[in-house]
Chains A and B, each alone.
Chain A
Amino acid sequence: MRDPKANSLAARRFRISRRTFLRGVGVTMALPWLESLPSFAAEPVAKGAAPVLPKRFAALFWGNGVNANHWSAKGTGASMELSKSLGPLEPFKAKMNLIDGLFNRSAVGVGIHPGQTGNLLSGKPLTKGAVLHGGISMDQVLANHIGQDTVQPSMVLGCEQPVTGYHETNFSMAYSSHISWQSADSPVPMEVYPSLAFDSLFENRGSRRNQSILDRVKDDTSSLVRKVSANDKAKLDEYLTSVREVEKRIDRMRAQSDKAADTAREAGKPLFTMKRPDNGLPEDIREHMKLMCDLTALAFQTDKTRVVSLLLCRDLSGLFYPFLGVRKSHHPASHDDLSDDFEKITRYYVGQLAYLAQRLDAMPEGEGTTVLDNSCLLFLSNMWSGNKHDSTRLPLLTVGGLGGSLETGRVLNYLEKGDENRKVCSLYLSLMDRMGVNLPQFGDADARLAGI
């Protein structure tokens, strides 16, 4: 009697078995990273035309600034000279931009820490007290515009749980804890557990959840349709058809991805080479951050999402770095920001970026390019000096060329260009343009960043 249900259950079972299979592959493989899924999925539009490959964006944040004595670079491209803290980026000099002198006007002069952080990606003024209010962050703007094409609109990760008390400036500590905001009033809840983030990508979020719901709605409607008169049936059939059509679209998206996976496997190039992280939290923060970077790489590689935000550590972070020989925790260490200890910490974070860049750069995609070349990793902190809590200048760099649309291998300095011409929101407008999202205005900026 209930054929549709039986069918959908069978389909679901098939999906599960496929997933399990793929996961199995993942477990046994400890191979280097391989090509991205889009390079198997993309079919050239016309003969000879290059396939259109997706562009990805990730914002990586760490709190409390850098050791300013060791944050600089000179020259261009491969001959660029990097200062000590930027050392880990040595292999990526031609693919990075050091952008100095940008600032976020709404985060200046409002009080230290949370007020300098919660609007880093939105550029909107923040409200003090019990009711939060700021602005939607640029990663979520991107997710809203381009997220519909992937399993998950965006992935919001963090390595520290949020704190929501009050800072002495009377800003909520939530502003110190979240850089991604889905609206002016709400942060995006972030995933701190690698295992759960993995599941959200490969198990049950996004399209799959909708699919389960639509299956059920389809059954409901079918059984109703069988009972009504011909005229009413026509109306309800319209609904059933719409449900099926939306399901088909989701299926097409999945099928495309499955087909690409098959093609990849036939070519002897399995894609899923990451095993599901263990439940619970990795004991070592290094392992934690590495897994979060791996997940980001995997998400980009398999095109599950094209927008990621990763909070490596919070503003006012309580992380420890015994492996660096530093016994102070992050925030107290930042108060001595010109110390060797804090230089080590700064360099450690640049190392995380370099690790992710290396992962992405090992994935061929397109003609002689890699996933990194089709991405932009925006790496930034909320202040220049942790001792002075100075947010008039942001440590910021990008890695990746966004499919050739972003020139790299440069050192850009905006510090002396005047406040109107050094807004970080202008950079966001320029980056969003390259992701295909053209806004007239964002945050406090209504002009693109000149010379980017």
Chain B
Amino acid sequence: MLRNATLLILCLGFGTLSRGAATAAEDPIDRRFTAEVFPFLDAYCLDCHAGKEPEGDFDLSRFTSAAAVSGDHPHWERVLDQLREEQMPPKKAKEKPTAETRRQIVSWIQDIRQRDAKKTAGDPGPVLARRLSNAEYDYTLRDLTGSDLRPTKEFPVDPANQAGFDNSGESLTMSPGLLKKYLQAARSVSENLILTQDGLAFAPHPMMADTDRDKYFVLRIVDFYKRQPTDYADYFEAAWRFQNRAKLGQRHATLSDIAAAAKVSPKYLATIWATLNDPHERVGPIFDLQKMWRTLPTPTAPGSLSPHAACVAMRDFVMTLRTKLVPEVENLTGPGINNGAQAFVLWKDRQMAANRRRYDPSALMIEGTIPAVEPPPVADKKSRKRVHKPRQPDPALAIPADPAERARHEAAYARFASVFPDAFYISERARVFLDTDEDKNNGGRLLSAGFHSMTGYFRDDGPLYDMVLDDAAREELDHLWNEFELVASVPHRMHSSMIWFERTDSSFMIDAQFDFARAEDKDCSSREKIRQLADVYYAKAKTRGASGAALAAIKEHFERVQANVTRVDRMREEAEPKHLRALGDFAGRAFRRPLKESERADLVAFYHTLRKDDGLDHEDAVRDCLVSVLMSPNFLYRVDLAEAGGLPALAGNPSKAPATKMSATMPKGALPLSDYALASRLSYFLWSSMPDAELLARAAAGDLQRPGVLAAQAKRMLQDDRSRAMAVEFGGNWLDFRRFEEHNAVDRERFPMFNDKLRESMFQEPIHFLTDLIRHDRSVLDLLYGDYTFVDPLLAKFYGMAVPPGPDDQWTRVEQVSKVGRGGLLPMSVFLTHNSPGLRTSPVKRGYWVVRQLLGEHIPPPPATVPALPADEAHLGELNLRETLERHRADPSCAACHARFDSMGLVFEGFGPVGEHRDKDLGGKPVDDHAIFPGGSEGSGLAGLKTYLHEHREGDFVDNLSRKLLAYALGRTLQLSDEPGLAEMRRKLAADGFRFGSLVESIVSSPQFLNKRGPDDLATR
């Protein structure tokens, strides 16, 4: 019904247009059509191109007026090409036009194109509200969740439009099958959701199982610890820098400045500084350390290196001494109770944590006393088990026997232990109730409480927290631990596994009186059950004769369990409303615009429906709400593109700006995009992804269309990492290497160096090149002539370059690579390999790639009857590939086209089928890379091609790049009305020194980009 109505309007539209044109008979274009063009068609064309079965399915009989030509410019562009290139009328035709007549018609077509282009210049064109492409979907989810999940790995590949890009409504369709993929993808994203204390976050992996939750937080907390500056040597070096700041040329540097430069904690550096310079230290370890400090060399010049080795020696002095001073904590035990019981192990953990800044006076050797060779007997052998081997007397720890002197030394040791903790934090712990030797192989138990088998974590980072961290870092750390306990239900799970352990491995809770406590039961950590268990456990321990200390620890344990469980339950309760608010915020980000109040309310209503009617719990309901957001067309579709087509502005006010800047160039019938729509358009152009916070803030402020603001945003965004997407999606599709990661046409037995890793490196090379060019706004001509490229160690080796130092995944820019035959896009192995059929090179494919992808030349497909070349170069027989091609070109039906590109492939003959350098082809014949280019100039190899391109084809290259980028930016095929803008774009590019950014500036300020066709626009063709 509706479709018919549209058709009707379109037909009426045409009618109006034709009538309008007919009345304006004064136009010389119309006069010339009647006088020159129509007779020409009649004489030379309509014999074949008319009737029921027009030649080549190309009917010219319906063009009876200039207006009809205006109505189908794409058709007439082909007429223009055929005439200009003298392809038509065909050579065999009886009647042929004179050169003058041909010129006349060509000029008429050019004139009417120019006239019409001017008339509709800047027409936004048909841009449909389409779904996100696979690439856009992946990038958007990445920016939305912070994890690069790439669910479209398992989606069907998006088809490309005529311009070669997969980002337009012309080609992006939807199907039930695809919808199910989206649903699966949304579900799997929702499984990565973390319901945090303040809202929602995403993990890079599913968070459904307890083990996943543990892993996520434990790794983050340990990572936080490891990031903190806790190496004493760094502090000594920083202190030295401060001490010698004047000589080092930093007279005015404060201690904080030095700390910042050295990346150490200013707070702890102050402590160290004060300690090293404390004049009251006269005896003991700090005094000894000060001696080392004072002998550090004085710098001679501002650039002097700090005395690293000496500072390391100071650190080693501290560490060696400190290890000897750690107080021992003996196991707490009780009759019938397992040594690994949670109450006892956690008690011991707490003692050790409290001792971090204390020392053990009994470790010191009082001068004149003779140490016992045997360790003193332990008071109660049965219930006490030592953790550490008894200390051996150490002369390094000798102190005087005189009581006053001894007290002075002991005080010095106490200060030393306090400034230098035995550990700033504990990141892993084996079973703490065993001899360290017994469990020494059990590393990697991150943040573990040191239990046997039971789930258990213990936080021990007091010295770090108190001495090193500033307020912000403390808050971050507290937050991480709270989040961990909340999301992974740490206290609850510790308690339930305690019940399991005490009833199995330890059999303390084996009797029937404990039967009420069951680890399987969620209710086992209810307030009542914890209390009940505490009572029964305590009573049994007491009856069995546990010591006062043990009983106290048991009592404290259950109190702590109760408190921790209550605290986490309360956190959870308080967090729930925040999750709902966060859902709304998430939806706003996903929809790339602020959420309307009604939409927010709808989402919350959906949540309550899921809770009430569907019986989901809070977490599942939040997850399903999230899935519904990710399945909404407001997320999956570029609804912004629909906006001016009748959809009210996305949010806020429609832009007020066009009145100022765009009115002069505002195409007829076009409507300006709102700021939010423009933000999306810009970010999907430059990043293939959603707008970031800053861009949305500009949209909210309503000044995106103010002169300069959009351009400034574009500039900022091009410099951002995310513009890599442009290199991959625009560059990859333009240059046809987007799917090279799946390229499997290489015979790996013949080319064993070609493996998946090298293929990946080849794929990455142009991406690094383009990303660098985009981010640093370099000249687009570097793509052709740049004497540099980017390599990782693997590619460097493959190219025969010196391998830059660094890890395997490090990419380095290398200069003057023409020495090894590389530089710019042309000799990149990805293109040379992609355009080879496997066991031979293909000058045809390589040359075709140059003229088609780089220079934008249109070449018709070969006729179906062409004989294929042998697949293997070694099977060519007497001729080499060049000679075989020459023979092929001798056929006139092939020659016309092949003359246009074979030469540009032959120059690459010095590169084998995987882009490797070679002197001989696979048949053992010497290679020849000399070529005669179209127009007659000659050259050899890469240098010859570059010279030819520079002298004859640079304009084509620039023109093609401009067209491709504009088509990519607009998400549609170009049309005649884009021509004036393109001409201006090229002019400006040359004036701007060929900076890439100039192209982007032209595009984002073009009327096509800033506007959308209005609903009444009849220019639709």
Please list the residues of chain A having a beta carbon within 8 angstroms of any beta carbon in chain B. Answer: 12, 16, 128-132, 159-168, 170, 172-174, 178, 182-183, 185-189, 192-193, 199, 203-204, 208-210, 212-214, 216-217, 220-221, 224, 227-236, 238-239, 241-243, 245-246, 249, 280-281, 288, 316-318, 320, 322, 327-332
Contacts and interface: CB of A to CB of B under 8 A. Distances in A.
20 contacts: A130-B219, A165-B448, A165-B453, A166-B451, A173-B453, A212-B609, A216-B606, A220-B634, A230-B3, A231-B126, A232-B646, A239-B633, A239-B637, A241-B174, A280-B523, A281-B521, A318-B503, A318-B504, A318-B519, A322-B512
B61 interface: no
B492 to A, nearest CB: 10
A222 to B, nearest CB: 10
Nearest to B449: A165
Contacts of B748: none
Nearest to A220: B632
A170 B445 contact: yes
Interface string B89-129: 00000000000000000000000000000000000001011
Interface stretch (B262-270, B613-621, B718-726, B734-742): B613-621
B211 A187 contact: yes
B609 A235 contact: no
Interface stretch (B623-631, B818-826, B985-993): B623-631
B605 to A, nearest CB: 10
Contacts of B454: 163, 165, 173
Contacts of A187: 209, 211
A212 B624 contact: yes
The 4 closest A-B pairs by CB, nearest first: A129-B444, A229-B645, A318-B504, A245-B176
A132 B453 CA distance: 15
Given A129-B443, A164-B211, A281-B521, 14 more contacts: A16-B613, A160-B520, A167-B453, A170-B441, A185-B212, A203-B615, A217-B632, A220-B633, A224-B634, A227-B648, A230-B3, A236-B637, A238-B173, A238-B174
Contacts, number: 226
A160 B522 CA distance: 11
A229 B620 CA distance: 37
B613 A166 contact: no
Nearest to A181: B209
A135 to B, nearest CB: 15
B713 interface: no
Contacts of B523: 280-281
B1015 A235 contact: no
B974 interface: no
B322 interface: no
A241 B505 CA distance: 59
A163 B208 contact: no
Contact of B208 (A162, A189, A209, A213): A189
A229 B642 contact: yes
Contacts of A193: 522
Contact of B627 (A16, A131, A132, A213): A213
Contacts of A317: 504
Interface stretch (B394-402, B493-501, B898-906): B493-501
A130 B520 contact: no
Contacts of A238: 173-174
Contact of A232 (B496, B505, B642): B642
A232 B615 CA distance: 37
A160 B519 contact: yes
Contacts of A241: 174, 176
Contacts of A204: 614-616
A229 B180 contact: no
A116 to B, nearest CB: 15
B691 interface: no
A44 to B, nearest CB: 28
Interface of B: 2-3, 5-6, 126, 128-131, 169, 173-176, 178-180, 183, 205-206, 208-212, 214-215, 218-219, 431, 439, 441-446, 448, 451-456, 493, 496-497, 500-501, 503-505, 507, 510, 512, 515, 518-523, 606, 609-610, 613-616, 620, 624, 627-628, 631-634, 636-637, 639, 641-642, 645-648, 1015, 1020
A129 B634 CA distance: 43
A65 to B, nearest CB: 16
A199 B176 contact: no
A232 B641 contact: yes
Contacts of B178: 242
A231 B614 CA distance: 37
Contacts of B518: 281
A165 B455 contact: yes
A157 to B, nearest CB: 12
Contacts of A185: 205, 212
A100 to B, nearest CB: 29
Nearest to B5: A230
B500 to A, nearest CB: 4
A239 B174 contact: yes
A209 to B, nearest CB: 6
A242 to B, nearest CB: 4
B329 to A, nearest CB: 21
B520 A159 contact: yes
Nearest to B444: A129
* Most A C-beta atoms less than 10 A away, residue of B130, B214, B496, B520: B520
Contacts of A243: 179
B633 A236 contact: yes
Contacts of B126: 231
B614 A189 contact: no
A9 to B, nearest CB: 9
Contacts of B173: 238
Contacts of A246: 176, 179-180, 183
Contacts of B504: 316-318, 329-332
A329 B499 CA distance: 13
A232 B645 contact: yes
Nearest to B617: A196
Contact of B645 (A128, A131, A203, A228): A228
Contacts of B180: 246
A122 to B, nearest CB: 15
A167 B178 CA distance: 45
Q: Which one of B129, B169, B456 has the greatest number of beta carbons of chain A within 10 Å?
A: B129
A171 to B, nearest CB: 10
Contacts of A214: 183, 631
A213 B631 contact: yes
A227 B614 CA distance: 31
B609 A228 contact: no
A228 B445 contact: no
A101 B523 CA distance: 42
A210 B515 CA distance: 41
Nearest to A221: B633
Given A12-B613, A130-B446, A213-B631, A166 B453 contact: yes
A77 to B, nearest CB: 39
Contacts of A233: 2
Most B CB within 10 A of own CB, among A163, A165, A189, A332? A165
Given A164-B214, A164-B455, A214-B631, A128 B205 contact: no
A298 B634 CA distance: 41
Contacts of A332: 504-505, 507
Nearest to A183: B206
A432 to B, nearest CB: 21
Nearest to B450: A166
Looking at B2, B455, B521, B609, the one whose CB has the most chain A CB atoms below 10 A away is B455
Nearest to A176: B453
Contacts of B648: 227
A229 B1015 contact: yes
A227 B647 contact: yes
B520 A192 contact: yes
Contacts of B456: 165
B809 to A, nearest CB: 21
B637 A316 contact: no
Given A130-B445, A230-B2, A318-B504, A280 B455 contact: no
Which one of B130, B504, B647 has the greatest number of beta carbons of chain A within 10 Å?
Answer: B504
